[in-house]
Amino acid sequence: MARADEVSGSPRTLQPSDHSGATAPVSHRLPAPPRVGGQHTGPSGARRLHYRVADVSDATRLYRPATPPGHDPSRAAQRAADPRGWRYEDAALDAVHRVIAERRDIRRFRPDAVPEDVLERVLAAAHRAPSVGLMQPWRLIVIRGTEPRIAIRDVAARERLRQAGNFDERARQFLDQKIEGIVEAPLGVCVCCHHGTPGEEILGRGTIPDTDVYSTACAIQNLWLAARAEGLGVGWVSFYRLADLRAILDIPERVDPIAYLCIGWPDERPVRPGLETTGWAARLPLERVVMAERWVGEPGDEVGDGPTANGTSRAPDREAAISARDRSDRLVKPGGSLGALEPLIERWAATSGAPPPARIRAGVLVCAADHGHTAHGTSLFGSHVSAQVAAAAARGETAAGVLARDGGHRLLVADLGLRGPTPEGVLDRKVAAGSADMTAGGALTQAELHAALAAGRELAAQLADDGVDCLVLGEIGMGNTATAAALASLLTGAPASVTVGRGTGLDAAGLERKRAVVQAAVALHAQAATPEAMLAAAGGLELAALAGAVLEAWERRLPVMLDGYATAAAALAGARLQPAAGAGLFASHLSAEPGHALVLTELGLEPLLDLRMRLGEASGALVALALVERAGLLHAQMATFAEAGVDES
């Protein structure tokens, strides 16, 4: 129901339709509203029109299509009103926890057959297990024949005797572990892991190849719990060599048997696990196995210092992010249909506490400095050009100046380390007259590094105090793509062949020369073990300042829009110094430099644009900022289903 002071013009006409596709037919489309009175100023000064829906009749009301079968039928409002609404009723919940608590490893079985419908339910439970990338690697061999089960029993008997000597005075107790259940139980199930086709890419498995084995273990647990609920006993036999079991069951080499399970009606009903009853071991108290935040060392552990962080840091605003997601779910559109704009809005809200405004006033911080390695020909231009470009940017004559002026943004160009005098219009925050040659020693001293980090923090704080909505980072410095490449190699371990590109347009000979310089620097500083040491070894003064700006922006709740390769490398260093700060970063575009994609991957960021830009100075970030504004506009001004008179029932 719209308020009287929000009503103007004719009511919005809504047509009934059963169409539920992503592209709305004519009958679904809402007519453009009349541009008359009744406007309301929304977030960040955006003008938002309100429409009358009070007199929409049942005949003309548009009904939100039902969620297709197999999809989540819940709505954001339901989930917000009752976060525990997915919980089972008490009786069902008690049953779940009871079956978990009463699962036992059974060694003695009755000879009675297991009905086929019961077995099918148990096997189906195993097949419902979660698996990384939905790879479903488990294969279940059901063994009813006596001959193969006797062969497996014999293999287990031999292996049990081989292992007994490993337990010293407990050898006899170990030998008491019965294996006759392999034959006594009416059937066995060998749970195998099929590792898939060699070279096949599985979602979520690229970094941790053994996730197929872990997924198979989930299937074993599902089977075991379902069997216990049916009153069946399960005994896990682990006394065998893989080659022996492969030979008996004709299991190919690309498949591993993970567990042999005896299944049948139990001839024992133990109250406690058997090994606990016999005193072999006892269950540890919960507090021994649950740790807060990070690993708590036990005797014999080698425990590291954990991630490097400069003190404590705030956490992302989860409530704001979820609130933004809830609103996106209620807008008149299919769920997720705005694609990458929807997680962008959530991430922005998690950083700043609110979705992006429809009109963003950014603080554009462009840091300038020169680099000692340019003496080796790593840039087409001399260091004097850095000062000239910085002066032109401060006058608003470069791409960044034009875009900042057009967008109404606050542009701040700062000299962190230009070799010559600070140009007119450029803020003087000079730490040193350029960095040292990173191939001959550290590029920065510890004092210079700390001063540059502090200067970057101070500049970001100055922009934050001016009330900007976000921070846009840019840089100026001849040769700084070589600096970025060396820093990226140290931070990621990638070779120079991956991190070095043509920069401002080097030819083939120049590219090889640049790679050689970066390789030499990386080799010299290979022992740098912390992000701070890496910045001192290879970083430029402008990159160190940008890293400091990233840290300050996170504490000030300012989203940070990165420009190209150099700003991304600086941001990666900042995120390594304070991991929480990485949550406030946004990648504007993918530059032509080959190492840029590597650094964005390390940051976990997807670029909004891919225009092959390589200008720097924050130009790409300012181009992308318009896209963020469009996302904010849609989020703020699209109608919700309720506002549009759409029935969600």
How open is the CA angle 461-466-470, to the nearest 5 degrees? Answer: 70
Contact status, residue 459 vs residue 394, Cβ threshold 8 Å: no
Mean pLDDT for the stretch of residues 465-471:
97
Mean pLDDT for the stretch of residues 375-398:
92
pLDDT number for residue 170: 52
pLDDT number for residue 616: 87
* Phi, then psi, of 36 in degrees rounded to 5: -130, -170
Q: What's the mean pLDDT when you consider all of the chain?
A: 85
> What pLDDT, in 10s, does the model give residues 34-52?
333 333 333 344 344 444 4
pLDDT number for residue 350: 95
pLDDT higher than threshold 50 for residue 9? no
Burial environment of residue 250 by CB neighbours within 10 A (0 to 12, 13 to 18, 19 or more): exposed
How many residues are given for the chain?
Answer: 649
CATH code assigned to 95-282: 3.40.109.10
Of the residues 617, 629, 643, 648, only one is catalytic, namely 617
pLDDT number for residue 174: 44
Mean pLDDT for the stretch of residues 313-324:
90
pLDDT number for residue 32: 38
Q: What is the third-level CATH fold of 324-635?
A: Rossmann fold (3.40.50)
pLDDT higher than threshold 70 for residue 250? yes
pLDDT higher than threshold 50 for residue 223? yes
25-34, 245-254, 422-431, 496-505: least confident range? 25-34
> What pLDDT, in 10s, does the model give residues 483-506?
999 999 999 999 999 999 988 778
In whole angstroms, give the CA distance from residue 360 to residue 357.
6
pLDDT number for residue 468: 97
Domain edges within the chain? 1-56, 95-282, 324-635
pLDDT number for residue 568: 97
How open is the CA angle 210-216-219, to the nearest 5 degrees? Answer: 155
617 is catalytic: yes
pLDDT number for residue 86: 92
Residues 6+ apart with CB under 8 A from 90: none
Provide the whole-model pTM: 0.73
Contact status, residue 144 vs residue 125, Cβ threshold 8 Å: no
Buried residues in 633-644 as b, exposed as e (16+ CB within 10 A): bbbbebbbbebb
pLDDT number for residue 645: 72
| Residue 120 tokens, joined | 């099918």
> What pLDDT, in 10s, does the model give residues 532-590?
999 999 999 999 999 999 999 999 999 999 999 999 999 999 999 999 999 999 999 99
